[in-house]
Structure formats: structure tokens, C-alpha cells
Chains A and B, each alone.
Chain A
Amino acid sequence: MDEQAAVADIRQWWRGGLYILIFSLGAWAWGSGLLPVLLDHWDDITFLGRQHIQLVAISGGLAILIGVPAGVALTRSRFRRYGDVAMQVLNIGATIPTLAVLALSMSLLGIGNTPAIFALFIASLLPIVGNTMAGIRAVPPYLRESARGMGLSPRQILWQVELPNALFVIYAGIRTALAINVGTVPLAFLIGGGGLGELIFSGIALNQFGTMLAGAIPTALLAIVVDFIVTQFQFWTIPRGVNPMR
């Protein structure tokens, strides 16, 4: 209980510090003329921001919808022998720079939205599949044994024992994947995918500091917001007994 109180205390301080920081940032932004520039670009920011979010949502959503079941499948007895190979492939895949993935995707699918989404999907898929597999593999064998010994079917063992106990690691994979995703979306501009990258790269090319920041700041905020949302999911959907956050 004392520990919790101490943690709450520290959080209070953090929050206070954060407010002060935001306030002084805002003051500085107005004073230096940054904020007026951002307001100038407001229409661009909302339009491209929406595109940006769409790219993240579609590619990330697909990656979760396909990655988690794929990771689960690779731990089932039928496919288990491919698990180690898959893990190796995933580890090697994760070392390929996302820019290279985009370039490869463009050479396959041309330019536009589709190759961008495909590349982002692939880049996000790897950590999700990897963590899903790792999480389920890390469930202690005796939990499976006692579940099996008491007469749970393989499906019941998956839903009642394996998934809940692997959930934290699976979420960690999703968090990593979405962080990579949000951070890579600006590069999608390079293959004609749109998004806030348009402002960033135009700003750099035209040497317009304000335009670049009009792309960069919303991108950074978006990354923070996405991470916050996943963290909330993690906090509320993982059972308290296996949730290190509660």
C-alpha cells in the first residue's frame, strides 16, 4: 500500500511537471512565431493527418488481425515444428530497415497507397507475430498440464489459459509494432502514400522550418497518443492476476 502511495505521489509530480513544460513550450512557440505557422498550415495538417491516421489504422489493424492468429497458429501442435524457423525469419526480418521495406514494396506494387500500406503492414506484422509466439511459449508448461489434466479442450486451454497469460507480451508486441508504424508512415510519402510526411519532406526540401515542424509535431503527438491508447488497453483488458501494471 505504501509503495502504491509513493507511486501515486511520483505520478502527481510528473503530471505537475508536464503541465509546466507544456505551458512554457506553448509560450515559446507563440513567441518564436511557430504557432502562427502551424495555424497557417492547419488545413494541410488536418487533411494529411487524417491520411496518416488512415495509413496507421489500416496497416496496423491488418497486422494485428493477421499477426496474432498467425502467432497463435505457430504455437499449435500442427505447426509447432515451423515455429523455430518462423522465429528466425522474423528476427532477420526485423533487422531490415523500414525504408528498405518501403522500397521493396514499391518495386513490387508500384507507387501510391497500396504499396505503402503493404510495407507498413509487413513492418508491423513481424513484432506482433514474434511476441504472440514468444508470449504463448512462455506460459509455464505446468499450467497447460493442469488445464489438460482437468479436462479442458485445446481450445479452452488457449482461450482460458494461454492467451490471458500471454496477453501482456502480445500487447508489448503491438505497442512496438504501432510505434514502428507511426514512425514509418512519414516515409510513405516517398512512394506516394501521402500522410504528414508530405509536410516534413516539403519543409526540408524548401528549407521551410515551419512547414517541416507542421508535419513533425503532429507525427510525434500521434505516436504518443497511439502508445497511450495501447497502454490503456493493456491496463484494462489484462486480468489483474497477471497484469504487472495493476
Chain B
Amino acid sequence: MIRLEHVSKTFPNSTTPAVDHVTLEVPEGEICVLLGPSGCGKTTTMKMVNRLIEPSSGEIFIGDRNTADYDPVQLRRTIGYVIQQIGLFPNKTIEDNICLVPDVLGWERSKSRARAAELLDMVALDPGTFLKRYPKELSGGQQQRIGVLRAIAADPPVLLMDEPFGAIDPINREIIQDEFLKMQARIKKTIMFVSHDIDEAVKMADRIAIFRDGRLVQYDTPDNILAHPAESFVSDFVGGDRTLKRLQLLTVNDAMQHDPPRVTAEDTLETAAAIMAEHGHQAIVIVGPRGRARGYVQLSVARGGKGKVGENHETLPTTVKPGEDLRTAVSTMFRHDVSWLACIDDEGTFKGYVTLRSITRLLSEAYRDG
């Protein structure tokens, strides 16, 4: 846990504070993204946590301990640190770079070297190939992965990341962000992450802290920031398409109609038409004996038709899984020119369906509440 209490910083030769009475708490195991335009004080705030910058006033706690009680050098050894330029030492091998903090902490060599190999394995880089290489022999993306590994090598509970993925091309950035989130799900560090990119923040953050001119203007979950910006600065900053950005935070499950009516192949078209009329649906899904989705029948076909559903159904053009985000779902709808999708789980069992209308209703609900 990282807790800031009324932390301010005024630099020498300046009258206006760079950071002005910031109070915030990053709960154990969460990622807090400090977000804002350049010069808003987000980086200064982060650097006060490991005392690269000393606060002018206020207190910062890691766990229960006040950071002011530590020797700054000792403090920093207990906090992982990743910067945008990565800062791998070109004179050291990858192995020695990763083992930097374990080495200054005096770990046994065999233990730290084993740790380096284990960490490389974790990001799917072959230890045999990479341990003895030098940073210049690695691609930018590989270097950035090593930068993160180096920060967590001595297993610090807290991690500070200063625009860590900012210098990587967009395609690799996506991959590394996903990788990092997967890793975080396992290692559960308490992370303070500086970014100026709203999309990155929405993707990475459990909570977003938005800064403006040294003040913390809003501190909330990504969905709440997008749905209820506290002031016009926030809504301007998160962008006019903030509602669309929420799509990637919500899952199909949130917008899905659960356990909708269904028919089996043995039912007659009259039955199908009657069920659709009753619920006001334009189509109905056919399921097999174990609940697997087999296809669907349209109302226009069923109405006035004769015979079994099984002889008149069409195959489903595409399906989604309940765990996928709504952005993917909407994109799939547009691609196949449909306004609804059947949701099936990993076993193929029909779980429900999601429609464009149910999605828009879900998104607008948040605004009605507010």
C-alpha cells in the first residue's frame, strides 16, 4: 500500500507549487495510474515516493512505515523503478542488469542468478540465449521487458513506473501491456504508474488519479472517471469519445440478457413464433440436448411457416464469449452487420445474447444514475 497525505512540493526558484496538497492511497496489489498533461505534477508526485525528490511538506507511507524514516538509498532498494528510457546499463550483461538490486542487497550469487533465469522464463525469453547478452543486442521491446524484470528482481512490494511503455511502437506496446497485466495478476505488486495516455490508463489502471497544475482533481476507477468526470477538465482530457472507451472496461456479461427463451430442433415453427411474439424478439436460438447453440430462426421465417424448427434454421454468423469486452462485441456486430450476438461459453453452451440496444442502455444507465 502507498499512502500520500497532504504532500506538496515547491521547487527552489519557484513560487507556485509543482504538487499541491495531494492525498491519495493506492491499495495493496492495485495499479494506480497518475494521468495528466505534461507539467501537471504527476511525475514529481511519483518521484517523491522513492524520494528522488524530497517533498516540501506532507507525509508518504509505504505499508505502515513513513518513507521519511528510511535512509533514501535503502528505501529505493525496496521499491522497483522503471523509467521510459528503460535505463539498462549498457556495460552490464542482461543477467547483471537484472541482478543489480539483489547484488547491492548482498544476495548469494547462485540465488540471484537463478532468480534472473526464472524471471526471463516468466516473459518467455530463453535464459540460455539472453542472460549473457548485452542490452545493445536486444530489441526495444525486449529491453523494456528486461527493465521491468530488473525492477521486480528483488521482489519489492511496491513498483514505480514512469511512462514505462511510452517509447515502444504501438503494436509492441499493446503486447507488452497485456504481458505486464498477466504478470501483475500473478505477482500482485502495488504499482504507481505515470502516463499521459488515457487509453493506456483505462487499460492498465485499477484506479486513475487525474492531475492538473499540481492538484489531484479526480481519483476513481477508470469506469467512473469515464462515466462521471468530476469537472470539465477531466471530461476534456479523457476525450469526447469517453463513452466508447468505456466499452473496453465492460464485458459482454454486463450487457447480456441471461437465460433467454430458446427452442429445440423438435419444436414446431408455430411454437417458435409464439415464443418470439411473447417476448418481442426478432429471432430465437436453437439449442441441442446439452444446451449447445445450434443455429437460429428468424421471426419472418417462423411466422406462417410449417414444420419443425430443425428443418428451417440458419447457422449463427458468429458468437461472443461472456468474458470478452464490449468493444470486441460491438466490433464483431459491425463486421458481420448484425444487431445481436449469441453468447456461448467455452463449452459451446448457449448463455444468452447481447444486442446493440442492451449495450447502449447499459452505457446510458451510468449517466442516469449520475
A positions within 8 Å CB-CB of B: 140, 142-143, 145-153, 156, 160-161, 164-165, 239-242
Contacts and interface: CB of A to CB of B under 8 A. Distances in A.
B52 A151 contact: no
Contacts of B101: 150-151
Contact of A150 (B86, B100, B135): B100
Contacts of A150: 76-77, 80-81, 100-101, 150-151
Contacts of B150: 150
A145 B50 CA distance: 12
Nearest to A161: B89
A161 B150 CA distance: 15
Contacts of B100: 150, 152
B149 to A, nearest CB: 12
The 3 closest A-B pairs by CB, nearest first: A146-B87, A241-B134, A151-B77
B76 A165 contact: no
Contacts of B151: 150
A242 B73 contact: no
Interface stretch (B90-98, B238-246, B272-280, B328-336): B90-98
A162 B285 CA distance: 68
B311 to A, nearest CB: 67
Given A145-B52, A146-B83, A149-B52, A156 B104 contact: yes
B81 A146 contact: yes
Contacts of B78: 151
Given A142-B85, A150-B100, A153-B73, A239 B91 contact: yes
B36 to A, nearest CB: 21
Nearest to A240: B134
B136 interface: yes
Given A148-B76, A150-B151, 11 more contacts: A140-B85, A143-B87, A143-B89, A145-B87, A146-B83, A146-B85, A149-B76, A152-B100, A156-B104, A241-B90, A242-B91
Nearest to A153: B73
B32 interface: no
B69 to A, nearest CB: 16
B52 A241 contact: no
A136 to B, nearest CB: 13
A82 B74 CA distance: 30
B167 to A, nearest CB: 11
Contact of A152 (B73, B83, B135): B73
B91 A161 contact: yes
B74 to A, nearest CB: 7
B75 interface: yes
A168 to B, nearest CB: 10
A156 B103 CA distance: 11
A144 B79 CA distance: 17
A153 B103 CA distance: 13
Contacts of A149: 50, 52, 76, 81, 83, 160
A161 B100 CA distance: 11
A168 B77 CA distance: 30
Nearest to B147: A146
A151 B150 CA distance: 12
A142 B163 CA distance: 13
30 contacts: A140-B85, A142-B87, A143-B89, A145-B52, A145-B83, A146-B85, A146-B86, A148-B76, A149-B52, A149-B81, A150-B80, A150-B81, A150-B101, A150-B150, A151-B73, A151-B74, A151-B101, A152-B100, A152-B104, A161-B89, A161-B91, A239-B91, A239-B92, A240-B134, A241-B89, A241-B91, A241-B93, A241-B134, A241-B135, A241-B136
A23 B9 CA distance: 74
Interface in B17-54: 50, 52
B47 to A, nearest CB: 8
